[in-house]
Structure 1
Amino acid sequence: MAGHELTPLEDALAHLLARAPTMTETETVNLTDSLNRILAEDQTVPADVPPADNSAVDGYALRCRDLQPGKPLPVSARIPAGEPPQPLTPGTAARIFTGSEIPPGADSVVMQERVETSDAGISVLAEVTEGQNIRRRGQDLAVGNLALPRGTRIRPQEMGLLASMGVARVPVLAKLRVAILTTGDELVDPGKPLGPGQIYNTNRFTLLGLLELAGCEVVLCESVEDTRQATRNALQQAADRADLIITSGGVSVGEEDHVRAVLEDSGDLSLWRLAIKPGKPLAFGEIGGTPVLGLPGNPASVLVTFLMIGMPLIRKRQGRLHTELTGERLPAAFQIDTGSIRREFVRARKELRDGQVCIAAYSNQSSGVLNSACWASGLAVVPENTSVKPGDVLTFYSFDELLA
């Protein structure tokens, strides 16, 4: 697939994912440490959740047939949460609290705001139907059912669900170990003074943040000298430590673009140059059996190519379940007069204009303008060979969806 032709995005993704084996190494972690990890085993419900019928409100448990107009029901019991109830005495009500188990014999709960109390008991002020305000046993999770499948990324809500099942230790897939190599002799770490011709190393920190959000473990993060030998050494050392290597810069056609050249002569370069904008100079290959994703050097291009190419690759390697991107179809509030032969990903955000939600684009879409991504909330997709005028409907992907 390597060559001078521009590869369509779908073809590039199919190629990468076909060469992305899923992680097989597993470990067991405490539930408190499971956030953003990937389940290594199906989680089956060991017991009904909730384990018994319980009250959804503070109020009174009773039998509907015991209610008679003008006749108070005496209160025969008080049922705190966490204590097993005694059977309800017929013709009476029981004071009950949210989460308390329903006493045998009761068939409904009346919330306290619908009741008047007196020395004689309670008078119900509203219609009562059987089963009201009762949370049934197993209504959340029924014993034996599949609660969470293998490959689920554990979010806060999954942590809570596992806790509700009594799970304290969680089997997860090992974290994907990623090495970051940034190329360019002009790059300086923040905190150091800039010399003539130097700039700060933006891509290192963008990639660190993206990989942390993606649930990866960064095992190496280095700047690489702009020489063929230094690039070869860095890639080979990274291959010994990582499951995936991500580079920025060094994949274009210049004499100092050594990543692509090293993959060609010391590894395997199977993909180069995509039909997307920004991000055309992207490379994919292997060195020492470890996949290498070579991203462009421009900061906005790094972000776009990571989201559109890097995240699908990482999700596949991590073994996580993922549904197809859906995006939103919204009218554009910007104009592009001349369509590109490449699919364009425009840094954009949703805005309300004249009562309609639309997509506004950042004014400067240069691949070196990272401020555009801070202003934006996602990417609008302009198909190949397509001009855009205000009102044209485009697909918009939020950053949150692209990173999910």
Structure 2
Amino acid sequence: MTDLIKHSPNSPILLTASLHVDEARKAISNLVNEILQESCKLNHASDIESIPLDQAINRILAEDLLSPIDVPAADNSAMDGFALNGDCLSESENIMTLKVVGTAYAGKPYEGKIAQGECLKIMTGALMPHGCDTVIPQELTKSADDSIVSLKQNQVKRGENRRLRGEDLTRDKAAITAGRLLRPSDLGLAASLGIAKLQVRRKLKVAILSSGDELRPLGQALDAGSIYDSNRYSLTGLLNRLNLEIIDCGIVRDDPASLKAAFLEAASKADVLISSGGVSVGEVDFTKQIMQELGDVGFWKIAMRPGRPMAFGMLKPAQPSGRKTLFFGLPGNPVAVMVTFYQFVRSALLQLNGANQTEPPLTQAISEVAIRKKPGRTEFQRAILGRGIDGKPTVKLTGSQGAGILRSMSEANCFVILPHDQGNVAEGEWVDVALFDGLL
């Protein structure tokens, strides 16, 4: 097992030992790093492309985005109020009266000067007028008419409610760092800097296939013992969340010739191959034989539920100058496919694509029910996150947690994650929760 953890694809195939979830993660991350290092040596310039800003959502930023301007570009007001020279302020509660000599609007700077005893009505975002360094919020003042305003001298301190030039960003400073999975707020930030195009990592090409003689495509009548293939549709949705290029290799029969042809096609076109089905102890022979010919793979039993059987490794490149194809052989049960994708594949894809943040965030909630759990495995229970009458986050399971019950995923909005050494969970106990939104 030690060799597998260090060099997963080059070690003997394992069918009996169960890996801890964290061990499996580490082995996958190590192999992805090896592939990335080899790719750097090959110096693939095509791995980076320039795209319009409005097409960059969920892409990986390839280089630091440097601000071409100071943000803000000049001192400006942080709120609606009255701009004045802070020399007139003190610790006293004495009332002072100032003459209002004009108004400064955002986008329309006030060109005049402010003398002692004067102030200027100012709107949020408007440039600070010459001679003014402080803004009094409008609600802290009193005025008999539009030309006079009164306030206590100690209402604010000098310099308050003013945004300084370069306070957010200075010119040539990184506004967004390379490796960022770009979110809507990042696109807005780039637009605020006047940047119309971004340098991003090329979309990974991910091939998917489902293996099994019992599988039928949608639209075809089911015969005895057959089922519709749902896994490719789940995987397509998961991959679209990451804005990747999908190569659908369809349903592949359980025979060596068909599997080998599908794997060769994937190796010639894709950076990653994800298959579902055909990785349990009784079904592994064909895939094992083919992977020994085309690359290296480890077959694992992982101490988790659902999703215990899984294969992982790589296919040799179709061309000597090409990059190796990462391979994930996921279980056939629909829920197990999604759990193993969430737990292992998603992070590997982000890492391979150059992301600097690959692990999904966790939160905690109070379990509304007792949950049975055996120590010695990590469990991913499908659940619904809500809020109790006291305002604290609560979570409840969606019912039966069988690996083939896809409805348990459809009704859920999160996973309850029960760690390896965790035992039974009592009602009212805090548990770790991972939200689906943005992940699944």
Instruction: Give the TM-score, by structure 1 length.
Output: 0.89
Cα 1:265/1:144, change in 2 over 3 Å: closer
Where does 1:61-80 land on structure 2 (aligned, <5 Å)? Answer: 61-65=83-87, 72-80=97-105
Q: CA RMSD in A?
A: 2.8
Q: 1:50 to 1:250 in 2, by over 3 A?
A: same
Measured in 2, the distance between the counterparts of 1:89 and 1:384 equals 68
1:141 aligns with 2:169: yes
1:374 paired to 2:400: no
Q: Are positions 1:318 and 2:339 aligned together?
A: no
Amino acid in structure 2 at the alignment position of 1:395: D
Percent identity, please: 35
1:13 corresponds to which of 16, 19, 25: 25
- 1:278 offset after TM fit, Å? 0.9
**Alignment check: 8 A CA contact 2:351 2:358 kept:** no
Instruction: Tell me, yes or no, if the aligned pair for 2:95 and 2:151 is still in contact at 8 Å.
Output: no
What is the SS of the residue equivalent to 1:230?
A: helix
Go from structure 1 to structure 2 and tell me whether the alpha carbon gap of 1:201 and 1:69 turns closer, same or farther (over 3 Å shift): same
**Which one-letter code corresponds to 1:365 in the other structure?**
Q
User: Residue 253 and residue 324 in structure 1: after superposition, are their counterparts in 2 closer, same or farther (change >3 A)?
Assistant: closer
Report which stretch shifted further, 40-49 or 30-39. 40-49
Alpha-carbon distance in structure 2 between the residues aligned to 1:261 and 1:346:
34
Alpha carbons of structure 1 residues 360 and 161: separation in structure 2 relative to 1, 3 Å: same
Q: What residue is the counterpart of 1:32 in the other structure?
A: 54
In structure 2, the residue matched to 1:51 is 73
Q: CA separation of 1:201/1:117 partners in 2, compared to 1, >3 Å: closer, same or farther?
A: farther
**1:236 alignment partner in structure 2:** 264
Q: CA deviation at 1:335?
A: 4.0
Query: Conserved in 2, the CA contact under 8 Å of 1:204 and 1:221?
Result: no
> How big is each residue's C-alpha offset from its partner over 1:276-332, in whole Å with a ceiling of 9 and x where there is no partner?
111111101222331110111101000100000111211210110116555234454
1:139 is displaced (CA, Å) by: 1.8
Alpha carbons of structure 1 residues 266 and 310: separation in structure 2 relative to 1, 3 Å? same
- 1:314 partner letter: L
Count of aligned positions:
402
Distance 1:115 1:201, change over 3 A: farther
User: Mean Cα displacement is larger for which, 263-272 or 371-380?
Assistant: 263-272
Residue 122 (structure 1) aligns with = 148
Classify the secondary structure of the residue corresponding to 2:265.
helix
User: 1:364 deviation in Å?
Assistant: 0.7
Structure 2 distance, partners of 1:57, 1:313, is: 45
> Is 1:167 matched with 2:200?
no
**Alignment-derived partner of residue 119 in structure 2:** 93
1:281 is matched with 309
Rounded Cα–Cα distance in structure 2 between residues aligned with 1:133 and 1:198: 69
Alpha-carbon spacing, 1:389–1:52, altered in 2? closer, same or farther (3 Å): closer
Report the CA distance shift for 1:343/1:57 in structure 2 as closer, same or farther (over 3 A): closer
Gapped regions of structure 2 (runs ≥ 5)? 5-12, 317-323
Q: What letter is aligned with 1:79? A: A
Q: Structure 1: any 5+ residue segments left out of the alignment? A: none
How far apart are the structure 2 equivalents of 1:37 and 1:63?
A: 47
Structure 2 match to 1:251: 279
Distance 2:142 2:160 in 1: 15
